[in-house]
Amino acid sequence: MLQEKDLAEELIARVRAYDPLVEEGVLSRAFVYAKTAHATQQRANGEPYFLHPVAVANILAGLRLDSASIITALLHDTVEDTAVTLEDIEKQFGKEISKLVDGVTKLTRLELQSERSKQSENFRKLVLAMSEDIRVLLVKLADRLHNMRTLHYIEDPAKRRRIARETMDIYVPLAERIGIQSVKDELQDLAFAALYPDAYQSIVNRLQYLKAQNPNLVSDIVGELTNILAKQGLDAVITGREKSPYSIWRKMQRANVTFEQLSDIMAFRVLVPDLAGCYQALGILHNAYSLIPGRFKDYISTPKSNDYRSLHTGLIGPFQQRIEVQIRTQEMHEIAEKGVAAHWHYKQGGAQTDGRQYRWLRELLEILEASTPEEFLEHTRLEMFQEQVFCFTPKGDIIPMPKGSTPVDFAYNIHSDIGDRCTGARVNGRLVQLRTVLNNGDQVEIITSRSSTPSPSWEEFVVTGRAKACVRRFIRMQQRSQYAELGKTMLTKMFRAHSQTLTDKALEPLLPKFKRPTVEDLYAAVGEGLMTTREVLNALYPDLAVEKQQAVDAIPEIKTRAKLRKPSRYAIPIRGLIPGMAINFAKCCHPLKGDLIVGIITTGKGVTIHTQECENLINFQNQPERWLEVAWEDETTESNVGRLSVMINNVMGGMGHVCTMIAKAGGNIANLKITNRTQDFFELMVDIEVRDAQHMLDVIAALRSHPVVVSVERYGSLNEPVRAAVH
């Protein structure tokens, strides 16, 4: 058995072979650190656990990765499996390594997710998105490769199957995407052997049998092909092999043939000096042997998305054997076997003059930028996945969403009903606000309630088109039904004031004239202020010739402030409607329940409620048709926010007194602003949540009772002092 010292030296020597300037000290420090951390831990086969990270590091050295990747491989299980923390690693090896180890640890934890989601394409995208640095993924792939090589030591067959399935579903496609053919092939065969041991064994047996029949067949064919090419002056290196058990298995599935019928089980690789040589070799071989139709593929002129380049063809070769031939240059071959890792190597031209291996990623990006279109390398798409976030449902399904998505986006993504009725969310088991931004791998549980409806405020933070559209549609529908309700109430009062009865049926003949498809639409148009109640009444009863709205007679009094007008039985009741829809409360005077109020109809915006004392009402005195008599409805229980203008003496603690007085009177300060400040006085604008106007009077009285307060008044009001309105 190798001594620990030999193991370390062997690894360092491998890295030094392709990176002469490697910092050997750091590498051997990581080696010792990992060994100490894993101490007496053991693998399933009874070997010291520590041999696993060393093996992973060796796999990566085989791919010629930078020393940061090798160090990460040595440390990759320390955070998850030992007492070592990320902080320890950062202290010992710096930020870059700790970030990489953190990335691998996160992927390891992700493996604990539900079985079901792992078979999905989205799970693979999640793994890609979480591998912010592609080296994280490379370490993870090497880790998995070594675990698969030692899978047979695990005794529980169910566990072996589970790991093999996961390898097939996640890691094989990922290795293929980033173009590491050698890792992909090995993972695939190992997983196949574990998943279908009988099929695997019978294919292996059959291959051995065929080989025994004709032990030198592969090398004989290699010899023939080499000769034919050499005769035409082409210097090619040819290797031959039996195809992998897995690819034979796939072929048997696809072609629906038995193993006995399957004849092309050999593949040959022709490595030529340059690009022109590829096509030259192809021409020579096609000339010398019959080709099998439909098998020729030119991946040189059209590379695969993982940048795989090669010519493929199928021939009836020497000795009448069906063979598969791949023709490529040495560089294409390296890229096929080592994927992104080889890109880096070629870019460097093999000469590690400055030895700074961490340039690897930047170099890779440069290569990507300089190269052909969207499809070029998975890495470009990997970045695309980082614009996405992948979250789990409680059942383990993965929902992909754009970055910045919130639980509301998640809810609408599942179903519009879930979105419409969502009231809260738990992320990873904790209650969060609906506007919380979700992260990769979060498990999200949506809390719904039958009676709940979307809030217009959601529109500000949702990011998915679907959620936006659903919230808007809901607001539109809600708005329309509120406008319709308001319009119907307005018309009913208007009709009653003229001793007429309003029925839906009576309005139907008017629909064509007003170009409204339904009576509901007509009501909504009135409520929205697009047409007046007078127009409707006059159209139905031309003889009445109503000229002005019934509420108009109230205006002169309000205008002159001679007296405030109490609501008549014709007043429109104001309920706790959703603000911003059919009914708005004016920002200038902040009406409170109990205030005497008046409505101003605004085209396309419904009705704005002002206090009758609001100074802005003067602006509407020449438009009597816009005035609407309104009254608070008794059962309104919601509190609303009133605004006070407060002047206090500029003394120590004055502001504190104001706050205390308001709180003692049961008001809740929603906002406070200093609007003016002199040597002697402070002027404040205070928004206070109160039950109603009477409650606000209590707050005002309380403030006035304190010596520090100079004056208090309702904001935007002409009248001083403020009068209470009584029903």
The dihedral of CA 607, 608, 613, 619: what is its sign? negative
The catalytic position among 10, 80, 87, 508 is 80
**Encoded amino acid at 669, one letter:** I
Report how far apart the first and last C-alpha atoms of the chain are (Å, whole number): 98
With respect to Mn ion, which residue has the nearer C-beta, 43 or 466?
Answer: 43
CA distance 382 to 113: 21
Cα-based distances in Å from 272 to 281, 317, 333, 362, 519: 8, 19, 10, 30, 81
**Pairing state of beta strands 627-632 and 709-714?**
unpaired
With respect to Mn ion, which residue has the nearer C-beta, 49 or 268?
Answer: 49
Q: How far is the CB of 52 from Mn ion (least distance, A)?
A: 6
With respect to Mn ion, which residue has the nearer C-beta, 77 or 629?
Answer: 77
CA distance 301 to 297: 10
CA distance 277 to 328: 8
Question: Can you state the angle between helices 378-385 and 121-130, rounded to 10 degrees?
Answer: 90
How crowded is residue 212: how many other Cβ atoms within 10 Å of its Cβ?
A: 8
Q: How far is the CB of 77 from Mn ion (least distance, A)?
A: 4
With respect to Mn ion, which residue has the nearer C-beta, 77 or 307?
Answer: 77
Binding footprint of Mn ion on the chain (CB under 5 A): 77, 143
Q: How far is the CB of 187 from Mn ion (least distance, A)?
A: 15
The catalytic position among 9, 81, 96, 189 is 81
Distance, CA of 122 to chain centre: 12
Contact 658, 646 (CB under 8 A): yes
Q: How far is the CB of 87 from Mn ion (least distance, A)?
A: 21
Q: What are phi and psi of 396, to 5 degrees?
A: 100, 5
CA distance 511 to 539: 11
Angle made by CA atoms 676, 678, 681, in degrees to the nearest 5 = 85
CA distance 170 to 121: 8
* Residue (of 412, 329, 398) closest to 110 by Cα position: 398
Burial readout 99-115 (b: 16 or more C-beta within 10 A, e: otherwise): bbbbbbbbbbebeebee
The answer to whether 80 is a known catalytic residue is yes
* Residue (of 491, 489, 544) closest to 514 by Cα position: 491
Q: How far is the CB of 76 from Mn ion (least distance, A)?
A: 6
Report which secondary-structure segment, H or E, holds 682: strand 681-690
Q: How far is the CB of 55 from Mn ion (least distance, A)?
A: 9
Contact 643, 715 (CB under 8 A): yes
Q: What are phi and psi of 658, to 5 degrees?
A: -55, -50
**Pairing state of beta strands 311-316 and 606-611?**
unpaired
Q: Which residues, including other chains, have CB under 8 Å from residue 444's CB and lie 6 or more apart?
A: 391, 392, 393, 399, 407, 410, 425, 426, 427, 438
Cα-based distances in Å from 184 to 40, 330, 385: 32, 19, 21
With respect to Mn ion, which residue has the nearer C-beta, 143 or 528?
Answer: 143
With respect to Mn ion, which residue has the nearer C-beta, 103 or 594?
Answer: 103
Residue, CB closest to Mn ion: 143
With respect to Mn ion, which residue has the nearer C-beta, 143 or 176?
Answer: 143
Report residue 314 as tokens: 């199928």
Report residue 250 as tokens: 């796939």
Q: How far is the CB of 227 from Mn ion (least distance, A)?
A: 47
The answer to whether 334 is a known catalytic residue is no
CA distance 446 to 436: 13
**214 burial class (0-12, 13-18, 19+ CB within 10 angstroms)?**
exposed
Contact 603, 525 (CB under 8 A): no
Catalytic residues: 80-81
